[in-house]
Amino acid sequence: MADLIGAEALRLMAAFEAAGAVPVEAAILQPASTLLDLYGEDIRSRAYVTSDPLRGEMMLRPDFTLPIVQMHMESRADPARYTYAGPVFRKQEHDESRANEFTQVGFEVFDGQNPAAADADVFAAIAGVLEGLPVRAATGDLGILMAAVHGLRTTGARKAALLRHIWRPRRFRAFLDRFGVRTPPPTSRVALLAMADPFANAGPDVGLRSRAEVQARIDALREDAAAAPISSEELALIDALLAIRETSPNALSALRDIAVDMPAIGPAVAKLVARLDALSERGIDVETLDFEASFGRTTLEYYDGFVFGFYAADRPDLAPVATGGRYDALTAVLGQGRAVPAVGGVVRPDLCLSLGGVS
């Protein structure tokens, strides 16, 4: 089986090379600190952590994205396309039947010239290698939700709080409900803001977080309490946006309806139109292509634009056969001031084989 997976991985890589990608490699052991800073403490429940006596905590790579982005940012080549293949490692804390080691074959495009074309190139290349397999594609675009948040008629602090939790739908929802006064503020906060001296009952100052920092947050809470709630019209528009789950043309017309009342999403919707055109040019049938506005919100938090996944049509138990998306913000975080628009995706050759009837 390992030989078959290896051969399938080579087939996939060859297809991505034909699409202009240069084959690259990455180390299996990655410094844990960078991954932790990017993904937060949650990554510990998903990646194997080990320790090196001199280098400190290391992780077995949970994916290739981080090392590939770092490599690209150091090389300063632009534009560039890469492909790679190799094992990735994922701890499975809840489901023993899920693989904890599997091969990923990836295709990454760093190119700011024409994002719609780059999105479509990656999607079409992956759709191409999966042709003939019983898979269905789902797509989304986190850029539209982000644009909607940016466009809300509310304070910058509230927008920042919502954007920070785009990838945590429950928290995002809780914030929306709070800012739209669907849920009242906690009594502890009301009491705090009513006090003439909030520090009257404060204990001793201990720890690194200073009184000035506490005061700054109280000021922010006062400002928030004084701000007008997000209107129920705007909340309804966000709800309508998040509920979109349609074929791409129907999703597009629903988004255009929303854009009438929420013009801020106009540019993001225009990007979707350009992408659909580019996909169409590459032979993708966009008439039947699913679009879900909430898609990609619960994956690793770095996608911030186009997102997609390919799923085994009759096997809901299987992990996705391929996933990918745009991660411009990640390159900015890792690029120390330099950002390069980037989009990419990975395919699992083992799942391709099992869906293709090889076992």
| Residue ranges binding other proteins (CB under 8 A) | 36-37, 40-42, 44-45, 93-94, 96, 161, 164-165, 168, 170-171, 174, 186, 188-189, 192, 198-199, 201-209, 211, 213-214, 216-218, 221
- Alpha-carbon gap, residue 11 to 8, rounded angstroms: 5
Q: Which residue lies nearer to other proteins by CB, 113 or 201?
A: 201
Region at 299 (left for phi over 0; alpha for psi -120 to 50; beta for the rest): beta
- Cβ-based nearer residue to other proteins, 216 or 227: 216
How many other C-beta atoms lie within 10 A of the C-beta of residue 146?
A: 19
Shortest separation between residue 333's beta carbon and other proteins, angstroms? 13
φ, ψ at 265 (rounded to 5°): -85, 0
CA proximity to 71, closest of 120, 43, 101, 34: 34
Instruction: Report, in Å, the least distance between residue 210 CB and other proteins.
Output: 9
Shortest separation between residue 192's beta carbon and other proteins, angstroms: 6
Question: Of 124 and 192, which CB lies nearer to other proteins in the complex structure?
Answer: 192
Q: Tell the smallest beta-carbon distance from residue 184 to other proteins (Å).
A: 13
In the complex, the smallest distance separating the C-beta of residue 331 from other proteins, rounded to whole angstroms, is: 20
Q: Rounded to whole angstroms, how far apart are CA atoms 331 and 339?
A: 5
Nearer Cβ to other proteins, position 96 or 317? 96
Question: Based on CB atoms, which residue is closest to other proteins, 214 or 273?
Answer: 214
> Hey, what amino acid is at 153?
R
Nearest CB to other proteins, comparing residues 204 and 316: 204
Distance in angstroms (rounded) separating the CA atoms of residues 174 and 302: 21
Q: How far apart are CA 224 and CA 226, in angstroms?
A: 5
CA distance 49 to 63: 14
Q: Give the residue with the Cβ less far from other proteins, 4 or 181.
A: 181
Least separation in angstroms between CB 35 and other proteins? 12
Give min distance, CB of 48 to other proteins, in A.
Answer: 13
Cα distances (angstroms) measured from residue 229 to each of 177, 191, 264: 10, 19, 19
Alpha carbon distance 105, 6 (integer Å): 10
Please tell me the distance from the alpha carbon of residue 265 to that of residue 71, in angstroms, as a whole number. 33
